[in-house]
A and B are shown apart, each in its own frame.
Chain A
Amino acid sequence: MLRYAFRLHRWGWIGYGIVLLVGMSVQAAAFVQVAGSTAASRAAFAHDMGVLAAQLSYILPAPFRLDTLDGYVQWRAYGPFALVVMIWAIAAAAGAARGDEDRQLVDYWLAARVSRARVVASRLAAYGLASLAAAVLGALGFAVGVVRYESLNLGGLAGKTLTLWLLMLALFALCYLVAQLVASTRAAQAAGAAVVVVLYLVDVLARSDHSFDGLAWVSPFKWYDATTVLAPGGHLDAAGVALSVALVVVTSVLSALAFMHRDVRGSLFPRRAREARAKDAAPSPLLAWPVARLLYRQRWIVVGWALGTGAMALYMVSIAHTVVDAAIGLPGMRDFLTHSSGGDPYRGFIAAFWFGIAQLLLAGFAVHLVSGWASDDTEGILTSVLSMPVHRWAVIGERFAAAVVGTAVVVAVGSLVAAATAAGVGTTLDAASVFRASWVLIPFTLTYAAVGAAASADFPRAAVGVLGMLAFASFLIYELGPLLQWPAWASDLSVQQLYGTPFLTGVFWNGLWAMVAVVIAGFGLAVLLMQRREVGT
């Protein structure tokens, strides 16, 4: 059973392992390019990066020894990859706890007299092996990137790999426990994501304000960040490791107990059937209208991302003064923040960093939408729809329209919260710039959605993976292109590059038309693929 459970994770560990491998090796190679090879240049680089770290605390841990390659990779690669593996842990746990039951695999295992405790142990052990494989691939990537320039700190690398593995396992075990409390895969994903994101934000809060340090120790992300063993002079945080192991053990035992006390495909706390029957309201009239009916089915996705984006806008804009006051002492940052924004560095910060993180969030939103389309296919809903008098092209058209409306809602909430919060902290953002930067986010998001639409129209099971890879590659190109002085055409492969900086410098029309072309091509291709494909196989 362990072997089969491990097989269920094969695409996860291969995909995320490749992401870690490539990310680590590229960051290691990038350090030598951007920091130089002398002690003085590296010290200057570390100083600049240290200031940048304060602004990027929502995504990066506290810096440590950024004048060294090991310290830089620990901060720049191992830090944000906590977010990347978080997504995998949430999805994998929901699939393991609920997807297996939806597919009736658990029925067969239990009928074959496999104990419930063994089912839980096997799924946790299988993810343990899969996440270990991914972490080892990441370490391999680091080793490949470093070995050309410096000697390898094997002990430190082993320590950081251990903590990355424990982080993945702890998040998985936690989400696996949360999944016992709900009754569907989608609910498990949402509940797991909510818990993990809160824990992440607690850690982020402590990164910006050290008075929250004590609270942050409830977060596995804090335990992970506490180990700095890869960098010279760093250490393996025994308390963090012990807490991670304890969390895995405790949540595993609780999951097993919960699973033993609930029905298969049921929640640990089932709603009473009577209460459910009492809900006899008429179905929503939205279900009768094209586009509205798809939006109705995806309403919690849209609402969740709108609220999340609003919360992030609130956080990012509210820390603007703190961060800018710290960064303004650096000549490079002062120039960047003031000259590009008409003399107001706070406005410059909000423009650069809020609309930067908004792109990240909206790429995630697009992936989530595409995941829903792919699920419609694999769960037989598309078959039901196409057994009705509905044109295949209309299915794609409806997805497109719903994506436009959903994206507009998420963007509007984020931008309105950002503008209102900015006004609250004494920084006025001019409405035209906010509007311009906001509406360009719609074709930006639809660019990802278009690729996902094409992929999900023909290979629904691979669509999310393909789109995730594209988003990762796009961010990597955008970030490394300027540092490594790649040619313009290479940088233009990044969707972020095509978005440009519309808040500060106006719409990048060439980029916009390129995005529009991708949207037309992607959804057009989706129509063609949908027309010729077979459904329900």
Chain B
Amino acid sequence: MTSAIRTEGLTKDYGAGRGLFDLDLEVPEGQVFGYLGPNGAGKTTTIRQLMGLAYPTRGRASIFGLDCHRQAVEAKRLTGYVPGEPPQFGGLRGREVIAYLGAMAGGVDREHVKELCDRLQFDVSLRYRDYSSGNKKKLLLVIAFMHRPRLLVLDEPTSGLDPLNQQEFYAMVREARTAGATVFLSSHVLSEVEHVCDRVGIIRAGRLVNVASLEDLHEIRVHRVEMEFGGDVPVEAVRRAAGVEGVTVDDHRLHCLVRGSFEPLIAAVAGAHVVNLSSHEPSLEEMFLTYYAEPGKEEAVSPC
């Protein structure tokens, strides 16, 4: 399958440890890829490299095999983009902004634009400066989708949208995928990723820490476990068990985190008198937070 996006050792070094480092990423065509990370992790830096707006310190990025810098124009002909920060078009009306950028994009079908505006309940007649931030985001979505691009690069596309329009946006993304488009969607809203993404990349401090399908992500999820013992607590055996972290003991109760399989923990407590056991599956949000934790602060998910 053709790669819609491929980066090889993509690095943008702003100095002082800031930037994006050695990003190797491949997004196959037809996939909705969620790009997750906290503020300042490097999501927008990655997207600006893909859009040819910033140059890499080293490495390369390509869209459908087209170099994002040397063949930027050809690559962008296939791409729709929503920037993280809305531009300021001042006194231009919504329809004028669409006409202005639509003429540059080429291949815009007026009926399709009207349909998009109707779906997002977007009024094209107002001046840009009179739009709310949510309406500005709707305009940017119309512009990104208007020429039915093969790739959509969306930088936090739902910020500012109300829940109804968020649902409409998710439907638009699904339809685009059904039509064969690829979507690269940056977000720090995990529920958004759960709604629409096939695969997720997690970036932290400029480095990609994990790429997985949603199912994979659930398989490596962390469980918060509480065990109550009738006798002595086998605390040392539990601490030695693989994948078990953050072990604390309170009287006859043991709290810990289990990453991955339960087997090592079950083996560690074999023979002990377990009178109660509860396992809580943390939300994706909490799992995400474990990746956000700075190195050396991996115990971000409290065992309590």
Specify which of A184, A273, A283, A391 is in contact with B126 (CB 8 Å cutoff): A273
A288: chain B residues at CB < 8 Å are 99, 103
B74–A184 touching, CB < 8 Å: no
Query: Do B86 and A388 touch across chains, with their CB atoms under 8 A apart?
Result: no
Q: Say whether A284 contacts B54, CB under 8 Å.
A: no
Chain A residues within an 8 Å CB radius of B77: 389
Q: Which residues of B contact A384 (CB under 8 A)?
A: 83, 87, 101, 143
A-B contact pairs, 29 of them (CB 8 A): A183-B129, A183-B130, A186-B90, A187-B91, A265-B129, A273-B130, A276-B125, A278-B125, A279-B125, A282-B95, A283-B99, A287-B103, A288-B99, A288-B103, A289-B103, A379-B89, A381-B88, A381-B89, A383-B53, A383-B87, A384-B143, A386-B52, A386-B53, A387-B76, A388-B104, A389-B74, A390-B73, A535-B53, A536-B85
Chain A, residues 368-406, CB within 8 Å of chain B (1/0): the string is 000000000001110111111111000000000000000
Given contacts A184-B91, A389-B106, contact A534 B53 (CB under 8 A): yes
- The answer, among A102, A287, A293, A536, for a CB contact under 8 Å with B83, is A536
Question: Which chain B residues in 93-114 approach chain A with CB under 8 Å?
Answer: 93, 95-96, 98-101, 103-106
B169 within 8 A of A: no
Q: Is A3 an interface residue (CB 8 A)?
A: no
**Can you name 14 extra interface pairs (CB under 8 A) apart from A387-B83, A536-B54?**
A184-B90, A276-B125, A283-B93, A283-B100, A379-B89, A380-B85, A381-B88, A384-B87, A386-B51, A389-B76, A389-B104, A389-B105, A389-B106, A537-B54
Q: For residue A284, which residues in chain B have a CB less than 8 angstroms away from its CB?
A: 96, 99
Q: For residue B79, which residues in chain A have a CB less than 8 angstroms away from its CB?
A: 387
Within 8 A of B (CB), among A71-127: 102
Contact (Cβ within 8 A) A283 B53: no
A210 at interface (Cβ–Cβ under 8 A)? no
Q: Does any Cβ of A come within 8 Å of B33's Cβ?
A: no
Q: Is the CB of A380 within 8 A of B87?
A: yes
A535 to B74, alpha carbons, bound, how many Å?
18
Is A297's beta carbon under 8 Å from chain B?
yes
Is A209 engaged at the interface, CB distance under 8 Å to the other chain? no
Count A interface residues, CB 8 Å: 37
Residues in B with CB closer than 8 Å to A273 are 126, 130
CA distance A265 to B126 in the complex (A): 15
Task: Please determine whether A297 and B92 come into contact, CB atoms closer than 8 angstroms.
Answer: yes
Q: CB of B239 within 8 A of chain A?
A: no
Interface residue tally of chain B, by bracket? 35 or more
- Residue A388 contacts which of B83, B96, B101, B125 (CB distance < 8 angstroms)? B101
Contacts of B253 in A (CB 8 A): none
- B126 and A276 contacting across the interface, CB-CB below 8 Å: yes
Closest to B95 in A: A283
Whole-angstrom distance from the CB of B85 to the nearest CB of chain A?
Answer: 6
Cβ–Cβ contact A293 & B73, under 8 A: no
A301 to chain B, nearest CB (A): 12
Q: Is A148 an interface residue (CB 8 A)?
A: no
- Hey, which bits of chain A sit against chain B, CB under 8 A? 102, 183-184, 186-187, 265, 273, 276-280, 282-284, 287-289, 293, 297, 379-381, 383-391, 532, 534-537
Tell me the nearest residue of chain A to B126, going by C-beta.
A276
C-alpha spacing A388/B100, complex, angstroms = 11
User: A389-B73, A532-B55 given as contacts; is B48 within 8 A of A379 (CB)?
Assistant: no
Of B73, B95, B130, the contact of A276 (CB 8 Å cutoff): B130
Looking at A184, A284, A293, A387, which has the most chain B CB atoms within 10 Å of its CB? A387
Q: Which of A102, A279, A536, A537 contacts B93 (CB 8 A)?
A: A279
Contacts of A279 in B (CB 8 A): 93, 125
Give, as a whole number of angstroms, the nearest-CB distance from B100 to chain A: 5
Task: Determine whether B127 belongs to the interface, using a CB cutoff of 8 Å to chain A.
Answer: yes
Task: Kindly list chain A residues whose C-beta atoms are within 8 Å of the C-beta of B95.
Answer: 282-283
Asked whether, in the complex, the Cβ of B83 is within 8 Å of the Cβ of A390, the reply is: no
Closest 10 CB pairs of A and B: A380-B87, A388-B104, A379-B88, A283-B99, A389-B77, A288-B103, A387-B81, A534-B54, A287-B99, A389-B76
A46 CB to closest chain B CB, in angstroms?
Answer: 50
Closest to A394 in B: B73
Q: Report the nearest B residue to A283, measured CB to CB.
A: B99
Chain B residues, CB < 8 A from A102:
88
Interface string of B187-201 (1 = CB under 8 A from A): 000000000000000
Least CB distance, A395 to chain B, in whole angstroms: 10
Which A residues are in CB contact (< 8 Å) with B99?
283-284, 287-288
Cα(A532)–Cα(B72), bound, Å: 13
Give the distance in Å from the alpha carbon of A391 to the alpha carbon of B29 in the complex: 25
| A residues in contact with B81, CB < 8 Å | 387
CB-nearest residue of chain B to A391? B73
Q: Which residues of B contact A391 (CB under 8 A)?
A: 73
Q: Does B123 sit within 8 A of A, measured CB to CB?
A: yes
A517–B116 CA distance with the chains assembled, in angstroms: 49
B106-155 interface (Cβ within 8 A of A): 106, 123, 125-127, 129-130, 143
